[in-house]
Each structure stands twice: as structure tokens, then as C-alpha cells.
Amino acid sequence: MSTRILLADDHAMLREGLRSLLEKQGDMEIVAEAEDGRKAIDLVAELMPDIVIMDITMPNLNGVDAARQITRQFAGVKVIALSIHANKRFVADMLKAGASGYILKECLFDELVKSIRIVTAGGTYLSPRITGVVVDDYVDRLSMTVESQFTVLTGRQRQVLQALAEGKTTKQIALELHVSGKTIEANRRQIMEKLNMYSVADLTKYAVREGLTSL
């Protein structure tokens, strides 16, 4: 029986390449592709794949928040992060979001295939470059000592921050999140107070630096 896979990455060329390579494996099937985290969640709800290969930095909804929602709402679906980021903060955030694997985009294709098979069998897989000291540090201290946007801000505030950084207006964000414009303005004030940043330009730089958006 084939492992059913959903590819979530905002780069179409990467998705196309992965689809071509993975579909050559006799035990793997690509059931869908998503260009952002929100689309990935919708497709998971519709198709219930076995594995989601998830980029971290995507528009509309980042991979960390998307992975958190998927692993909480769909217990049988496993997430493997596929990212350029080897920084232990990103690894920690993704693992805390429920990911079962973390692969660097620089890895060989065979490593991705190996990770899919291990995670499908119920295991966890991390690229060799980010194991060892990084994992030990994460287990012992990182979750208590490293503060990022995923601990400082609420989930809604992260969505608003990402949307602001992507240039969306208050009205557009309100429509997208199904709330009032006043609620979005209140969220923006709270974000600025928490981050001690008082311009959209500073918020945008912060969002890019922290991996919330690729702009």
C-alpha cells in the first residue's frame, strides 16, 4: 500500500521536482500540492494524506502554525519539515508543533525518502546536521530558554503579523480571518506592545527575520 503524501511549499519548481522524484518510488503517491499553510490544512481535511512534507516559511500561514493545526486536528497525519533553516530555534518550534521529522533542503533525495519511510512506520527522523548537541539542547533547555514569536505572540497575533508583513490591509486581514477591523487594529497594537516595535516596517523586518514570511 502506497504512502499518500501532500507537498506544501511556496516554490512550484521545488514541488514539481519532488513530485517527479517521489512518484518514482513504488510505495509513494503524491495526492496534492499546496503553496501555503492554509491551503495545506484545507487539503489535509479533504484528502487525509499519511504524510505532509511541509516548508516552514510560506505565505498566508507559515509551516509551524500549519503543522500545529494539522497534528492537533488530524491525529493520523504526520508532518515532516523540509526547510533551509538549520537554526535550533526553527527545529525546536517545528518539533513542538508536532512534526515527526525535520529535513534540510540541502540533503540528498535518498535522505528524504528514508525519512518518509521511517515516519510512516511510526518513527522520528532528523537530518544528521541538526542532531547531537542541538537535540540535546532542545530536550534539556531550549523549550524553556529560547523565546521566539511562537511563544511571545498568540496564534491569532502571529497570523495578523504575517498578514501585515505581507502588505495586506486591515480590511483584507479582517475578511480573511472573519473578524472586525477593530479586532485587527487591537491585535496590531498588542503585537507592537509585546515586540516593542511601532512601525509596520519594523514588524515586517521582524517577521522576515523570524521566518514568518519569505518576503
Enumerate the domain spans of the chain. Answer: 3-143, 149-209
Percent of the chain beyond pLDDT 70? 90
User: Which pLDDT does position 138 carry in this prediction?
Assistant: 56
How far apart CA 2 and CA 35 sit, in angstroms, is 23
DSSP class per residue in 126-164: E-GGGSTHHHHHIIIIIHHH---HHHHS-HHHHHHHHHH
Name the CATH architecture for the domain at 3-143: 3-Layer(aba) Sandwich (3.40)
**Helix H or strand E segment including 125:** strand 125-126
Half-sphere exposure of 134 (CA within 13 A, CB side): 16
CB-based contact 192:203 (threshold 8 Å): yes
How does pLDDT run across 45-73, given as a tens digit for each residue?
Answer: 999 999 999 999 999 999 999 999 999 99
- Name the least confident of 56-65, 97-106, 144-153: 144-153
Three-state DSSP state, 172? helix
97 DSSP 8-state letter: T
Q: Which three cell numbers stand for residue 208?
A: 522576515
Q: Do domains 3-143 and 149-209 have the same CATH topology?
A: no
Angle in degrees, CA 209, 211, 215, rounded to 5: 80
CB-based contact 52:77 (threshold 8 Å): yes
Tell how far CA 139 is from the center of its chain.
20
Three-state DSSP state, 27? coil
How does pLDDT run across 176-198, given as a tens digit for each residue?
Answer: 999 999 999 999 999 999 988 98
CATH assignment of 149-209? 1.10.10.10
The answer for residues whose C-beta is within 8 angstroms of residue 58's C-beta and 6 or more apart is 8, 9, 10, 35, 36, 37, 66, 214
How far apart CA 47 and CA 23 sit, in angstroms, is 18
How far apart CA 92 and CA 172 sit, in angstroms, is 32
pTM of the entire predicted model:
0.73
* CA-wise closest residue to 150 among 34, 41, 32, 56: 56
Q: Which three cell numbers stand for residue 170?
A: 486591515
- Neighbour-count burial of 124, counting CB atoms closer than 10 A to its CB (0-12 exposed, 13-18 middle, 19+ buried): middle
Question: Average pLDDT of 126-147?
Answer: 64
